A and B are shown apart, each in its own frame.
Chain A
Amino acid sequence: MYFYIILEKGLVRNMLQFELKKIFLKPVNKVLLVLLLVITLIGSFLAIRDVKYYRGDEPVLSGPLAARQLKKEQKKWEGPVTEDVLRRVIQENQAINASAETEDIGFAQKQGFADLQDLICAAFSEPGEYEPYLCDTISPDKAAKLYERRISRLKKEVSEVEEGRTGAFSQKQQDFLIHQYESLETPLYYEYAEGWKALLDSQYLPTLMIITIVIIGFFVSGIFSDEFQTRADAIFFSTKFGRNKAIFAKIKAGFLTITVLYWFVMLLFSAVILGVLGIGGAGCMIQINYSNWESMYNVTYFQEWLICMFGGYIGNLFILTFAMFVSAKSRSAVLSIAIPFVLSCVPMFLGRVPMLTDFMSYFPDMLLRINKFIGDFVFCEIGGKVFGIYSALVPCYLVLSFGLLPVMYYCYKKR
């Protein structure tokens, strides 16, 4: 009995190896694998290149050289962003304005505290607007009230939006938002975090996630349908394990392919960017960056990275598992190849139609763009409790992904 179990385990491992071989021996998949690697490296390069350091009248530095200079400048402002620091930002800004020969030189001299300036601008501009020169006119004492302003502005904003209109908030949502805002520990801590900003605040991450899904779609879409397209199905289904363990091996091969390729791409992308720009700032709250100033998620950069990566993985897993399911059900690789593209791109465009925005926020593509929505107020309400949309989407699509596996198995078994 024990021998038989070991033997079966060996056979299952064997089947899995051959299923993976079937996927990775395909010439088109070899090309796609290289393409994915190249795209990942190009994406990392572009994200790194977006870090800029301005030197007044001299040419702008970009990439690692810029990061080095920024780090040096920002080091002077490292620490908790207290009222005193905020006052100092305004005073320093006004001093530079008075002494700098040109605007460009002045801008270059302000780069050490530009992030803090941006925060003040974001906080004290009118809702929905951003006034870049606000720091030139605001008083140091007013700027020092940054954190109070964040909460008071939110309260004003949410109560002013009429119920029933797009963007309106229910009482529960208002309470949830205010609670989240009040829970943010202040003063925020500031330090150099260009690596995390390049990684998480750019378009490259969601774009790379979509490209990764579409490419992995080619790998997994044939796992089931190829048996029919190569007409190998008759032999496959007439074997002892053809209607049970061999199907498990296919599902496992798909799961492994999705998991390994996704994490390989994402870890490589992150490692290259953070390796070049540095991991400093991992513990800073994301609200320290003005684009996330209004975020209701009180997390650090490192936690945001984990959420983006894990959420992206769940989105990836669901979309590609669904593609495999379509492949098993329809026996068509063409149809299943289209699924990743349709599910990752189409909802993004449909979501721009105001009528569909709320509905589309439940689609799995949202998980691929967490970094873009982490600063927005997207909720869901379950059992009278309000959550940020991602608190619901991640477990929901995780369950759906694993729920699809037995359905896929039985569909293929019954063929």
Chain B
Amino acid sequence: MELKITNLTKEFGDFTAVNDLSITMRNGVYGLLGVNGAGKTTLMRMLCTLLRPTNGTITCDGKEIFAMDGEYRKILGYLPQDFGFYPDFTVQDYLLYIAAIKAVCPAVAKKRVKDLLEKVGLSKAAHKKMKKLSGGMKRRAGIAQAMLNNPNILILDEPTAGLDPNERIRFRNLISELAEDRLVLLSTHIVSDVEYIANEILLMKDGALVHRGTTEQLVATMTENVWKCYVEKREVPQLIERYKISNLKTDSHGVELRVIAKEKPISDAVLDEPVLEDVFLYYFGERVGEEHAAI
């Protein structure tokens, strides 16, 4: 399975959400990282044929996905960021309906729904109405619906948003488990999610791909260092002004900072090993893209 994106551009009026993006993806988990407004959702919606690109092409094993139409969507599983459902349906009915519109034959659908409900831990809630589910349960129902047709391409847009830590860990493990023999594209701005499960991380900024690679490869692209230091509270505002601070921990004596800088920010700062969160901060700063958060 090869999904090839070539010179993909999507414009909304005079705003360019995705800008001349090219990438080829094969089986494996791809983590799409970027701040709000980077164009992740727009890219995913184009990959799901929900939006038509202004320019460029997307091909699946050499065939244009919009021309493939239903044949492409047959091998696609999608969990949107804003997961909508039918509130009066039970979980089981909801999944059986989605299975039907995914062209899964009724007998197979029944078995697959049962298996997936077990897998996502919703067996006991099968006859509960969708509107009565908790946020985490809804997300799990969401991943189950995405998997109903056993898709070759699984696109998950912010799947862990709004989940508590336990749910997130469970979700990550589930995605890892589902990722065998398929292409999974996972978008998030929760860095640790992709750090744990993605084979390759794609950094997106202002609609373009900034970097791609494993955590180690991305860390290696940083031209600044990560420093750990302990300062008094009154010094913090001044340091925030001058440096990118990737972590800040306060106790009764002072504040422990994690600073990204070329040179030592203060004399007693010590070098630390960079992690993916530092890379994220290094490339995206702290407030980038807030004005286009919905895109």
Contacts and interface: CB of A to CB of B under 8 A. Distances in A.
Contact of B73 (A7, A27, A234, A239): A239
Given A7-B105, A11-B105, A239-B98, A234 B80 contact: yes
A204 interface: no
B97 to A, nearest CB: 4
A25 interface: yes
Contact of A234 (B48, B101, B105, B106): B48
A237 interface: yes
A232 B88 contact: no
B89 A25 contact: yes
A402 interface: no
B192 to A, nearest CB: 26
A26 B131 CA distance: 12
B70 A243 contact: yes
Nearest to A19: B97
A376 interface: no
A172 B51 CA distance: 58
Interface size class of B (residues with CB under 8 A): 20 to 34
Contacts of A10: 105-106
A339 to B, nearest CB: 23
Interface string B214-243: 000000000000000000000000000000
A297 B143 CA distance: 63
A234 B88 contact: no
B102 interface: yes
Given A14-B100, A241-B102, A235 B93 contact: no
B49 interface: yes
A238 B84 contact: no
A18 B96 contact: yes
A238 B50 contact: yes
Contacts of B145: 235
A69 to B, nearest CB: 51
A246 interface: yes
Nearest to B80: A234
Contact of A238 (B48, B83, B106): B48
A11 B70 contact: no
Interface string B167-209: 0000000000000000000000000000000000000000000
B74 interface: yes
Contacts of A242: 73, 101
Interface string B70-110: 11011010101011111111000100111011110110000
A277 interface: no
B114 interface: no
Contacts of B45: 234
Interface string A1-33: 000000110110011001001100111000000
Task: Tell me which of B49, B84, B87, B101 has the highest count of chain A C-beta atoms within 10 A of its own C-beta.
Answer: B101
Interface string A226-242: 11001111111111111
Contacts, number: 94
A238 B44 CA distance: 11
Interface residues on A, range: 20 to 34
A152 to B, nearest CB: 65
B69 interface: yes
A236 B85 contact: no
A207 interface: no
A14 to B, nearest CB: 4
Most buried by A among B82, B86, B100: B100
Contacts of A27: 88
A231 B145 CA distance: 15
B160 interface: no
Nearest to B146: A235
B100 to A, nearest CB: 4
Contacts of A183: none
B101 A246 contact: yes
A248 to B, nearest CB: 11
Interface in B277-294: none
A282 B69 CA distance: 56
A244 B74 CA distance: 13
Contact of B85 (A7, A8, A232, A241): A232
A231 B88 contact: no
A240 B96 CA distance: 14
Contact of A18 (B76, B87, B93, B102): B93
Contacts of B152: none
B57 interface: no
Nearest to B47: A238
Contacts of B149: 239-240
A18 B113 CA distance: 16
A234 B93 contact: no
A26 B105 contact: no
Given A234-B45, A240-B73, A241-B70, A11 B84 contact: no
A20 to B, nearest CB: 11
B84 A233 contact: yes
Given A21-B89, A230-B84, A235 B98 contact: yes
A21 B101 contact: no
Given A237-B50, A240-B149, A246-B101, A22 B89 contact: yes
24 contacts: A11-B100, A11-B103, A14-B106, A18-B93, A25-B88, A26-B88, A27-B88, A230-B86, A231-B83, A232-B84, A232-B86, A234-B45, A234-B48, A234-B84, A235-B80, A235-B83, A237-B50, A238-B73, A238-B76, A238-B78, A240-B101, A242-B73, A242-B101, A244-B70
Rank and list the top 6 A-B pairs by shortest CB-CB distance, nearest first: A231-B84, A232-B84, A25-B88, A234-B80, A18-B97, A238-B48
Given A18-B96, A232-B85, 6 more contacts: A235-B145, A238-B48, A239-B102, A240-B73, A242-B101, A246-B100
